[in-house]
């Protein structure tokens, strides 16, 4: 399943119940962090970002401490790192 999230990114839910959130809009931990929330979402979506903020959770909604130092959210992830996270989540 795919969902668009507040014009700032997307969620992808795999058959195993794991969801990965990929966000690259204003206020997210990415190159668009300093853009204005509520004004620049569409621009960020069309221009894009070289990196994104990601999180992952199992069905039920609790964020998993998957990243360095037990963090549940990781910023400035490259496309390659996002793909690795998605592959990990899909394989659980």
CA angle 8, 6, 3 (to 5 degrees): 90
Q: How far apart are CA 28 and CA 14, in angstroms?
A: 23
pLDDT at 61: 84
pLDDT at 64: 94
Intervals of the chain under pLDDT 50: none
Give the residue carrying structure tokens 């962090």: 33
pLDDT at 60: 87
Q: How far apart are CA 12 and CA 43, in angstroms?
A: 22
pLDDT at 73: 96
Q: Where are the domains of the chain?
A: 2-91
- pTM confidence score: 0.94
Q: How far apart are CA 84 and CA 51, in angstroms?
A: 14
């Amino acid at each position: 399943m795919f969902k668009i999230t507040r014009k700032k990114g997307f969620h992808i839910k795999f058959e195993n119940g794991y969801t990965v959130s990929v966000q690259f809009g204003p206020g997210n931990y990415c190159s668009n962090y300093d853009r204005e929330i509520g004004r620049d979402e569409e621009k960020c979506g069309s221009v894009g970002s070289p990196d994104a903020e990601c999180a992952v959770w199992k069905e039920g909604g609790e964020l998993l401490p998957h990243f360095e130092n037990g963090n549940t959210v990781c910023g400035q992830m490259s496309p390659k790192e996002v793909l690795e996270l998605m592959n990990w989540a899909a394989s659980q």
